Amino acid sequence: MAASGDAKKGETVMVTGASGFIGSCVVRGLLDRGYSIHAGVLNPDDKAETDHLHALAAGAGEGRLRVFRCDLLDGAALLDAARGCSGVFHLASPCTVDRVDDPQVLTYRVDGILLLAPTGSRLTCSIRSWLQKQMMVPAIEGTLNVLRAAKKAGAVRRVVVTSSVSAIVPNRGWPAGEVVDERCWTDIDYCEKNGVWYPASKALAEKAAWKFAEENGLDVVAVNPGTVMGPMIPPTINASMAMFLRLLEGCTEDYLDFFMGPVHLEDVALAHITLFENPAASGRHICVESICHWSDFAAKVAELYPNYKVPKFPKDTQPGLVRAKVGSKKLIALGMQFRPMEQIIRDAVESLKSRGYIS
C-alpha cells in the first residue's frame, strides 16, 4: 500500500482489533501514510498479538506504534487508548460462526475459545441463548464503548466502524430481482429463528453505532466488507481464510447466510483509510470485488487450481442474491479500484502455501 503525501504527518489514530487479519493490514497502511498508531489488542503480553505489529512498525520510526490493552467491555481502557487520537478505526468484534465438514457439528469461536455443539434439535435453547449473548454483548456493547471513548477523548474527528456484508444479508424480504445495496439490512427475525448469530450481531452493532452517532454528534462511517482474503500478516489463520482453506480441501458448505462476494484484504484496508481521509464519505459502504454466489467463487477457484479438491456447487448457493459485477459503487465513487477475483484467489493460495497450510 503506497504512501500518500496527503496524510498528516504525526497524526495519531486508534485501531481496535489491530492484531487481526484486517487490523494488521490497516495498521500497515496507516504507518505507510505517515500516521502514528494506538494499537488496541486484547492482551499486550501475548507475543502472538503483538510481535507482527512491532515488525510492521520497525522501519517506520521510533514511537510510531504504541500497544494498548483494549477489552471492548472496559470503557476506561478504551478511553486511555483513544486519548490524543484524531481518528478511531473500530475493527475488533467476535469472530464469525463457522460450519465444519461434519454437518452434525457447529464450530463457534468466541473470544478465542473453540466450542462445539450439535446442530438441529439437539442444539438446546440454553446453548443458543448463551451463544447469542456471547456474540451480541461484545459486538453491540463493545461498539458503543468504543464510540463513547472516541466522544470523551475530545479530539476524534471521525470513527470508521468495520461492519460487514453480514449486516446487509441475509434479507429474504429484499425486492426480488434488485441488486443489494447499502439500504439493505440483515433480517434479525430470520437470524434469530435460524440461529444465525453473527449476521445478527453485526447488524445490531452497526445500528447501535448509527443511533449513537446521531444522538451524540459523532462523525461515523462504516465499511461493509465481503469475504476477505489475501496475504496473512498475523501468525494464525482467520475465519475467512479458514473458509477458503476448507474449500480447497473439499468442504461442501455453501455459506448460505454469510456470503455476498469476495474482496482482497488490501482493498479492505485501503477502504478504511479512504473513508477516514475523504470528507465526502458518509454512511455505509459495501466493499466487495463483485456481488456473486459462493458457487461462482468456487468455480473460479477450481478453474485456476484444478489440482485441489474444490467441489462443484449448484448455480444459486445464495437464493435471491442478484449478481452484479460492480457491487461497491460508493467506494468506487470515492476513487477506489478493486483487485479482480483471480488476484484475490491467487494471493490467498500463495499465503496459505507460505504458511504450510497447503502445498
What positions carry a catalytic annotation? 202
C-alpha cell at 184: 439493505
The counts of H helices and E strands in the chain are 11, 12
In angstroms, the CA 329 to CA 284 distance is 11
| Percent of residues in the chain assigned helix, strand, coil, to nearest 5 | 40, 15, 45
C-alpha cell at 196: 444465525
Q: What are phi and psi of 315, to 5 degrees?
A: -60, -45
In angstroms, the CA 79 to CA 268 distance is 26
In angstroms, the CA 159 to CA 334 distance is 17
- Long-range (24+ apart) CB contacts under 8 A made by 274-277 are 274/331, 274/334, 274/335, 274/336, 275/160, 275/221, 275/223, 275/334, 276/13, 276/87, 276/89, 276/158, 276/160, 276/221, 277/4, 277/6, 277/7
Single-letter amino acid, residue 314: P
Single-letter amino acid, residue 306: P
C-alpha cell at 26: 490497516
Residue with cell 435453547: 125
In angstroms, the CA 136 to CA 231 distance is 29
Distances (CA, A) of 162 to 28, 114, 313: 17, 23, 30
In angstroms, the CA 144 to CA 334 distance is 27
Contacts of 91 (CB under 8 A, 6+ apart): 15, 16, 17, 18, 20, 22, 23, 26, 162, 272
Q: How many CB atoms lie within 10 A of CB 304?
A: 14
